[in-house]
Structure formats: C-alpha cells, structure tokens
Structure 1
Amino acid sequence: MTLVHKAAKQLHDAPLRAPGPVAVPALPHPASRPRAKEQPAVVILNMYYSGLGIARDLAGRGLLVVGLSAKREAYGNFTRCCEVRTAPDSGAQPEQLRAYLLEARNELEGAVVFPTRDLDVLFLDRYRLDLEPYYRLALPPTEVLERVLDKYALAQVAQGAGVPVPRSCVVNSEKDLARVADEVGFPCVGKPVSSVHWRQGGGWEKVGGRKAFLAQDAEELRAEFQRVSAAHPSLLIQEWIPGSTRQIVVMGGYLDENAEPLGYFTARKVVQSPDDFGTGCIVQTEEIPEIVPLTRRLWRALGYQGMSEVEYKQDPRTGEFKLIEINTRHWDQHTLGAACGVNLSWIAYQHVSGSKTEPVRPQIRRAKWIAEDALFFYALRGIYHRRVRLGALRRELIGPRVYGIFAWQDPMPLLRYALSTMLPTLSRRALSKLLRRRKEP
C-alpha cells in the first residue's frame, strides 16, 4: 500500500472531530456576467485563505463557483464571490463528503474541483475512481503524489535531478536516532515524513501544534521524538539551514501534461509565524531567477502536472537554494500571481476543463501578500515580548498589498471574522493574562 493510500486510510479510520491598496484588479460580483451553459462549474474544498483566493480569482467570469465549507468560523464563508454551502470535512468525514459530492453530481456534473489542503488532496486521490466520472479533479496523478507527499522520497528525486536538498534520514524508533549524528548532524530539524501524519487522529495536539521542531543535540532530539512519535512513529530528520525568514523563497505555477508551466511566479517570505517553522504572514513577489531552472528540472523529473508551489531556503554557507517542500495544490499566497499577470486559478480552470491554454509569462511587479489575522497576533506577541519593533514591521507593509482575507470589493469575510473570532480571541487572551497577574504574589 502506497504512502498516499495509507494516509488516506488512516484519515478514514481516525475518530471524527467537531467540525492598503490592493494590487489586483477590482473584483466584479459573481453574478455580474451571465453564466455560459457550456462552462463547467467550480467546486472549492474549504474556504480559508486559499479557497477564498480561488473564489476571487474566478469572480465575474460567468462561472458557477461553489465553496464547500465544514467550519462555521471559516472567513471565506462570508464572501460574495461564490456560493458557499455547508459540507462534510474531507479529513474528518471523507465517506460523508464522497456521498455529498455524488449526490450533487447531477447539478455539478463536469465541475472542476480544487483542493486547498493536503487532506483534500488525499481525499480526492482516494476517491478518484468514484468521482472522476462526474467531476474534473484538479490534482496531480497518483504516481506524482506518491513521490511528493513523502518528503524523503521527494528529496531522493530532487537529488537525482541535481536539485540541492538538506542532508536527510528517516527514523522509526529511538534506536534509529543514533544514526542522526553521522548522517545529518546537529542542529537538525524533525518533521513528519508526510504532513498529514501530524494532522490526523489528534496528532496536531500531540505534537504541540507545530509543523516541525529544531533539536540542538541528541538529548533534545530524543525528548522531541518521544513526544511526536505519539502522533506517528516515522520522523524525517533534516539538516538545519541557518538564516532568517527572508532566505525562504518559492516558485509557484501550474503545469500541463508535459510538465511545462502554463504560468508561474517567484516570491520571497518576509515574515512568518512562528519564526522558524511557520506560515508566511508577509510574502512578496520578487524576481528570483536562480530557482527557475532548478524548479523546472525538478518538475520534469517528477513528471509533474497540476498546481505546484516549490519552497527553498538559501544556505548562507554555500549560497545554494535547498529544497524544503512542494505543495500539490493551491497555497495561501497564490493570489500574488494575479499581481504579476498570472492568474493561476483561471489558468488551472481552463486547462482542467479542456480549453486551449497558452503559457503566460510573469511580469514580476513588487506586491505583498498579508495574512492580516496572523500578522495581527504575531505583532501583539512580538511587541509584548519586545521581539518585534513596530516601526520596522510598518516598513515591511509599504507598497501594493494583497490581503489573505480583506478586499475592498469583498469586505464581509474580514468584518465577520473579526467580530466572531479575532476580537473574542483577543479578549480571552487579555483576560487570561490579567487573571494570571492577579494570582502572582
């Protein structure tokens, strides 16, 4: 059984969980252009940053766009750029979501389905044979997913293609940890072999809500392994690449059946939270020509087709850009492409629906994608602990901006999210700090 199918089975068997100026063109209302009957509909799985971005990318093109959301708090639920419907979650309730989509096949037959999380990708791949007769699934072939979702297998493919990677090994027991000093060295990074290993069956809570951890020595590595192995016994250990967030760069694009990009752009992380292994809070478009040939070589070696974001970190000791990971679906900052004249959602829709699609060359114009909710809490924590200077952070926000949640033409997602989630969270944290201070002697 392959990694992809093992992970999908584990998801199925897991217990159910309770469910500034904008740099892109103005967003038309989705109903502002009549829908052409021959145009397939669009189904978006989940309405967070990526899903909301897809809806905005496709707004006003005469398409029926349906966002499926299992979470009441998802800010994309309140967008005017698509029709949002409540549906089962692909990770917690895969069988129910399969049944939901099959029941909707008469209305949505031929629709292009966009995943926005790794859990969505695994769900669509698991039920590919059931769903493909009725839907167009926007995801890479199974054999590509098997090589990409397994981070160690991906590193081996990259090495074979001449793409630099951090020194790596996989450990499955405490006994295996003895190999790390020789094969990888310290400090080192520990992460799941596949990201979903820490996202299922309560794993996220067991690992402390982290994507990865940094171990300075063998003792710290052993302690961390004992904790995270409760979520999954296999652990990928990689060389730690020193340096700041700004050394993390990405190339994102959409590829045809010949592994040739129909559109792509490059960008650099500016701020992420947490600092070492976090999600980008500020990401800016930038010409990074060094990673273009590396990425195209890797895509060809994988036989890649579909949406892809490839992340690297530049090693200050050698100047090499070393591969970190690949996302096999839309990612949070994909809407930066529109600022470069590369609307990846529209390119993907055209290709998957069978329309003739000509390659689009990026016109890199400096624009910044901002996760306003994550950045808000990052700034509050940093200022409180005196790790962030407000003036320096404000300078990072200068220039054309694209927001993860807010858009002038579609303001309700941020307004509703601020009232229902951000303000209550801030109040709870402030009250908690106040109560702790009162208890102090």
Structure 2
Amino acid sequence: MNSKAVILGSNYYIGLSVIRCLGANNVHTVAMDYSTENTYASKSKYLKEQVIVPHYKKREAELLTFLIEYAKKQVDKPVLFPCADPYVEFIDNHLDELKKYYLINMTNQGFWSKIMDKEFLHSLAVKHGVLVPETLSSSDPNFEDQAIHEIGFPCIVKPTDSPSFVSKFRVKMFKCYNEYELKQAISKANNENLEVIVQRIIPGFDDHVYTFDAYLDQNSKVTHWLTCQKLRQYPINFGASTYTKQKYVQELYDIGAPFLESIGYKGFAEIEFKKDEKTGKFYLIEVNARTTTLNTLLEKCGMNFPLLAYNELTGKDIGSKSIKHDIGRVFIYLFEDMLSAREYVKTKQLSATQIFTSYFAKKAPAIWSFDDPAPALNFMYLLMKKVKRKLFRN
C-alpha cells in the first residue's frame, strides 16, 4: 500500500515535524494550506507536494469537496493528519464522509470535538475518577457568585471551544485576580457568544506541568507512551511549551492510560496534567487530539507517532514501546523561549543563570535541523520581514 500522507497545515512547526517524521521514512507527504503565506514547513526537503485548498472555515463545504476529489484521484486511500485544532474540528465535523476516502485514526464522528470541549472533558474525567481542577460552567445558576465564593482568586476563565477563543482573543485563557477582572473576562466572552468555564488554578510553578503522550491502536489500547515535564512556556505561566524535557513519571501512565482506553480513544493523544505543589496529586488539564508542539522531542526520544499512525492505518504491525528512563533530551522553540526568558527574569520567577545553563542540554529544536535547514532559514526570513514592517510603521 502506497498511501500518501495529507498534512493539513504547514504554517507552524507542528506540520513541519509531521512532514519530517514521515518524509524521512519514505512516505509521500502532501501539505495542504489555504495560503502560501508563512508556510515555512513547506520548504522541507521531505515534502513532495504543496497544495492550496479552500479555507477550512470561510469555505468549509468547498474544502470538503476538494479533499474528496483529491482522494478519488489517488490509487490508495491517503492518511489524513490535522496539525492544528481548527483542522481537527473540520475533520471531526465531516468524519463520516471523509473516512470513505481517507485513512483516519478516529472512527466516531463528534468524538474529537467533545474531547476538545473543556466542559465535556471535565465531566468525563470526573465520571472516570480522574482529578480535574474545580470548575464552574457559565450555564450554572448564579455562575458569577459561585465563582467568587467557591473558586476564589486568582482563577482562570477558559473557553469550552479553544480554537474560536484563541482566534478572537489571541490568548488561551484569562487570568483573573479579583471580582472586577472576572466579570470583565466573562463579559468579553459573552459579547463574542463564546461559552466559558471558571477554574481553580492548581498551585505550582510552570515545571509542575507534565504530559502523557500516547498512541492507542484501533482497539483503543495504549501501545506506545512516554512522559514529559514542561519547564518554560509562552506566555509564561499559561501558554504553549517553549522548553520541555522528557521525564519518566509512571504515575502519569497509571492515570492516563486507563482513562484513554476506557473512553474508547484511538490514535495519538497528549494529556496535559498539573501537579499540585501542596498535595503532589496530578490534575488533568486538557487532552490534545492532534500532533503536538513536542513532536520533535518525542521523535528524538524514539517515538515517531505520525509514522505509528501511518503504519497502523496502512496495515503494518506497530508493536509496542514505552520509555521508562530519562533520556536527557529537551524540546526548545528558541524564538518564543527567548521572549519567555525575558519575562521569567523580569518577574523573578527564574534567574538568567538558570535559563542560560539550561541551553547546554541535548536539544530537539522545534524548527532547526542540520539535515533539513531550509524551513528554519525561511522562518528567519519571515521573522525579519515582520520586524522590518514594524520598524517602518513606527
């Protein structure tokens, strides 16, 4: 079977990592984007095709038709890889139709969307005995009063639909320190018709955030897994990883594997946990249903999750594997890590020495690769263009 790998999204390093993971293993890779702008991942030597497609939101029906027509022209069913949350939602919305023409891990339409819904995920975790931060929904009676008296401050206001929220506000959540900020945050979300939840902040610095990264086969059994510890993120305290190390923590498997198996999950999943610095207990924060920012680290540690999905879906045996020791490798997205480093030092959460010495670790860079330098060079070019435009505006 010579199925192509269709990768939705190459304007971020997640798509780049999928292209490299597959292309380096002789898989024919196809990057599909609605524009060529900022698609630095398409410069990879491991990409065979770049195709411009209709926008996933503005021209949703046209994109569906395009994908179907593209697949019909192929000898074998392509394997479909979403590399951003909006593409996950798009595939999930049309899964029953798309799976006639593509090989896709998930088989139950609507499942991914439910997992991405913070309110639904919270209730699901509670049902299966997994700890989650105390949470209130905007649909609860006396929502604001309950949030003030039961959750307390500081707290966070999070969306139930993350992609729409991030698209509008360019942040993942609002952190509120008092009643006024809480009401302002809720009002902002309401004005955009976005549902939100209010959640207790689990005490602990950024290095108390961990991930359980796993692959579940078509029988919903965990076959491959490893765990990681986040050390820095951007924006600091509540953001995406900029510096994360692989760290073996058996307890994360003990919590995460039974949960994912019991809910019938299939394919790659990353559960983000936060460890309460006071009790030592792990709380489930979210589940990423697509390839994540840490993919380069996972691959360097010996877990090529995109290739696992490709091989299983095309009929190959994938076996099983777990990493139960510390390898000493770290993921780094240098551009944003330098921005976060400035803020950590400025707020006295980390020292300049701590950050400087961390750069001597064995790295898994988000973009740079000696073997495939063109994407990083193109990224630098795009970055300089943005800086130039900003300088001219000023």
TM-score by length of 2: 0.91
User: Matches of 2:221 and 2:348 in 1, distance apart?
Assistant: 47
Of 144-153 and 288-297, the range deviating more from structure 2: 144-153
Aligned residue identity for 1:406:
W
Other-structure match for 2:229? 268
1:375-408 Cα offsets, whole Å, 9 max, x none, are: 2443466678888754332212222111111111
Other-structure match for 1:13? none
Aligned counterpart in structure 2 of residue 119 of structure 1, from 86, 95, 108: 86
User: Matches of 1:80 and 1:138 in 2, distance apart?
Assistant: 26
Aligned counterpart in structure 1 of residue 367 of structure 2, from 400, 405, 409: 405
CA change 1:277–1:68 in 2 (3 A) is same
Aligned counterpart in structure 1 of residue 333 of structure 2, from 342, 351, 371: 371
Note the C-alpha offset of 1:140: 5.7
Aligned counterpart in structure 2 of residue 106 of structure 1, from 60, 72, 83: 72
Aligned counterpart in structure 1 of residue 34 of structure 2, from 48, 67, 70: 70
Note the C-alpha offset of 1:112: 0.3
TM-score by length of 1: 0.82
Other-structure match for 1:90? 56
User: Matches of 1:427 and 1:380 in 2, distance apart?
Assistant: 22
Other-structure match for 2:19? 55
Aligned residue identity for 1:338:
E
1:106-139 Cα offsets, whole Å, 9 max, x none, are: 3334000011112111111222232222111234
Note the C-alpha offset of 1:150: 1.8
Aligned counterpart in structure 1 of residue 3 of structure 2, from 40, 53, 62: 40
User: Matches of 1:340 and 1:167 in 2, distance apart?
Assistant: 34
User: Matches of 1:394 and 1:139 in 2, distance apart?
Assistant: 42
Other-structure match for 1:348? 309
What is the aligned length? 389
User: Matches of 1:140 and 1:92 in 2, distance apart?
Assistant: 26
Aligned residue identity for 1:155:
H
**Contact preservation (8 Å) 1:336, 1:368:** yes
Note the C-alpha offset of 1:314: 0.6
User: Matches of 2:208 and 2:310 in 1, distance apart?
Assistant: 32
* Percent identity of equivalent pairs: 23
Other-structure match for 1:79? 44
Other-structure match for 1:419? 381
Note the C-alpha offset of 1:175: 5.3
User: Matches of 1:363 and 1:173 in 2, distance apart?
Assistant: 42
1:251 aligns with 2:212: yes
Other-structure match for 1:24? none
Other-structure match for 1:195? 162
Alignment of 1:21-40 (within 5 A): 38-40=1-3
**Contact preservation (8 Å) 1:172, 1:233:** no
**Contact preservation (8 Å) 1:114, 1:138:** no
CA change 1:63–1:427 in 2 (3 A) is same
User: Matches of 2:285 and 2:349 in 1, distance apart?
Assistant: 26
**Contact preservation (8 Å) 1:121, 1:139:** no
SS in 2 for 1:211: coil
User: Matches of 1:150 and 1:368 in 2, distance apart?
Assistant: 30
1:174-206 Cα offsets, whole Å, 9 max, x none, are: 95212213442332110001213314xxxx34x
1:356-384 Cα offsets, whole Å, 9 max, x none, are: 22112225412111112222443466678
**Contact preservation (8 Å) 2:105, 2:266:** no
1:311 aligns with 2:272: yes
Other-structure match for 1:395? 357
Aligned counterpart in structure 2 of residue 295 of structure 1, from 256, 274, 281: 256
Note the C-alpha offset of 1:429: 5.0
Aligned residue identity for 2:235:
P
Other-structure match for 2:286? 325
1:227 aligns with 2:181: no
1:148 aligns with 2:143: no
CA change 1:431–1:363 in 2 (3 A) is farther
SS in 2 for 1:229: helix
User: Matches of 1:295 and 1:330 in 2, distance apart?
Assistant: 17
User: Matches of 1:220 and 1:308 in 2, distance apart?
Assistant: 34
**Contact preservation (8 Å) 1:259, 1:305:** yes
CA change 1:144–1:338 in 2 (3 A) is same
1:219-241 Cα offsets, whole Å, 9 max, x none, are: 22001111222223421111111
SS in 1 for 2:316: coil
Note the C-alpha offset of 1:142: 2.7
**Contact preservation (8 Å) 2:232, 2:340:** no
**Contact preservation (8 Å) 2:275, 2:283:** yes
Aligned residue identity for 2:144:
L
1:334 aligns with 2:298: no
Of 279-288 and 102-111, the range deviating more from structure 2: 102-111
Gapped regions of structure 1 (runs ≥ 5):
1-37, 436-441
Aligned residue identity for 2:353:
G
1:138 aligns with 2:105: yes
Other-structure match for 1:161? 128
1:177 aligns with 2:144: yes
Note the C-alpha offset of 1:94: 1.9
**Contact preservation (8 Å) 2:273, 2:286:** yes
